[in-house]
Amino acid sequence: MNEVTSVTEAQKIKPVPTLPDAQTVTEVQHYTDRLFSFKCTRPASLRFRSGEFLMIGLMGDNGKPLLRAYSIASPAWDEELEFYSIKVQDGPLTSKLQHIQPGDELIVRPKPVGTLVHDALLPGKRIWFFATGTGFAPFASLLREPQTYEDYDEVIITHTCREAGELTYGRDLIESIKNDELLHELMGPEFHEKIRYYPTTTREESAKMGRITDLMRSGEAFKDLGVEPLNPQSDRAMICGNLAFNLELKEMLEEYGLEEGANSDPKHYVVEKAFLD
Ligand code: A2P
């Protein structure tokens, strides 16, 4: 029996859960030596809003669960859960998590939380999703959420990564949305025409180079997209990336006159950091 056959066999046999809150990994995809995504079964009791995160992980060597916050990359209506992760070679969790295979068990605590939810924003005309690196994950969920298209005329997703290969997950996801029959059924045939995708790289040549923050400051991003700079009357925004990016962009949005919202006090933008190892 070769290796591929044994993985398929493992998938057929649903393992008896031995971990607390155990779910079964159903699919793993590697993009670069730093990035991968995986899917797992969904806890029957789990209800969440697209854009929220969960604590997930594996059993540590000390016999205690080793958990980290992960944005759910799949939409709230999906039967399975999807996550998008960095691989840190000496990271306590991701050094192990990067080796998971279909059929393996994963701990998924069914308690969703998060600020990147539509409930935290006032109605608007255009929504901006600003991501760096694995910060794309919550937007992978929100881009497949019908409410995104019900609430806005235009959906702009910017994604800044170091290298071109790190854009693959997001690019493939947006491409798959355009051809997804179920999404078309849920949202109508033209919903994806509202999506404007603006990928940029900072350390490797690509069609658009530079940090999104710099491209906005210079006006180049707005010119490329054919829109005016953000304003609190029409624009709403969600930010998810590394800490420096989140802080810098938050400051820029405040300068445009946007105010930070919360579940209990919806306003113009919300921010979250990517949860890295
Ligand atoms: P840069 O290569 O210029 O640092 P990381 O992998 O370190 O989390 O970074 C992901 C992407 O976010 C990189 O392209 C990086 O650009 C960019 N980035 C880092 N800090 C900022 C910031 N303060 N504003 C805008 N982009 C940033």
Domain of 179: which CATH number?
3.40.50.80
Distance CA 38, CA 96 (A): 13
For residues 17 and 269, the model is more confident at: 269
Domain boundary, last residue among 60, 86, 113: 113
Predicted pLDDT at 204: 97
Q: Kindly state whether residues 84 and 134 are assigned to the same domain.
A: no
* 53 and 140, same domain (yes or no): no
Which residue among 113, 135, 153 closes a domain? 113
- pLDDT in the model for residue 188: 82
CATH number of the domain that residue 82 is part of: 2.40.30.10
* One domain, residues 127 and 262: yes
Q: Do 105 and 140 reside in the same domain of the chain? A: no
132: pLDDT strictly greater than 50: yes
Given a cut of 90, whether residue 92 has pLDDT beyond it is yes
Residue nearest to atom 22 of ligand 1 (CA): 245
Do 17 and 149 lie in one domain? The reply is no
Instruction: Report H helices in the chain.
Output: 3-12, 94-97, 137-142, 146-151, 168-178, 181-187, 212-217, 220-225, 243-255
For residue range 96-106, what is the model confidence (pLDDT) as tens digits? 999 999 999 99
User: What does the pLDDT read at residue 191?
Assistant: 87
Query: What is the number of the ligand 1 atom nearest to the C-alpha of 244?
Result: 23
| Residue 140 pLDDT greater than 90, yes or no | yes
Q: Are residues 122 and 95 in the same domain?
A: no
Ligand 1 centre to CA of 207 (Å) is 17
Q: Are residues 106 and 183 in the same domain?
A: no
The pLDDT tens digits of the residues spanning 31-83 come to 999 999 999 999 999 999 999 999 999 999 888 999 999 999 999 999 999 99
pLDDT tens for 199-233 read 999 999 999 999 999 999 999 999 999 999 999 99
C-alpha of residue 118 to centroid of ligand 1, in Å: 26
Q: What whole-number distance in Å separates Cα of residue 104 and Cα of residue 172?
A: 25
All residues at 6 or more sequence positions from 9 whose CB lies less than 8 Å from its CB, including other chains: 1
Percentage of the residues of the chain whose pLDDT score is greater than 90? 84
Residue 177 structural domain: 118-273
Looking at 112-116, 227-231, 269-273, which range is the least confident one?
269-273
As given in the structure block, the two tokens for residue 50 are: 């697209």
40: CA distance to ligand 1 center in Å?
A: 29
- Whether residues 250 and 159 share a domain: the answer is yes
- Residue 108: the pLDDT is 97
- Residue 17's pLDDT is what? 54
The reported pLDDT for the residue numbered 1 is 33
Please tell me if the CB atom of residue 246 comes closer than 6 angstroms to any atom of ligand 1.
no
24 and 56 Cβ atoms separated by less than 8 Å:
no
How many structural domains does the chain have? 2
Do residues 155 and 27 both lie within one domain? no
| Whole-prediction pTM | 0.92
Do 61 and 173 fall within a single domain?
no
* One domain, residues 136 and 160: yes
Q: Is 133 in the pocket of ligand 1 (CB under 6 A)?
A: yes
> Is residue 7's pLDDT more than 70?
no
User: Of 113, 132, 156, which residue sits at a domain end?
Assistant: 113
Q: Is the CB of 200 under 6 A from ligand 1?
A: no
d(CA 111, CA 118): 18
Kindly state the tokens that stand for 145. Answer: 């959420």
Are 167 and 226 in a shared domain?
A: yes
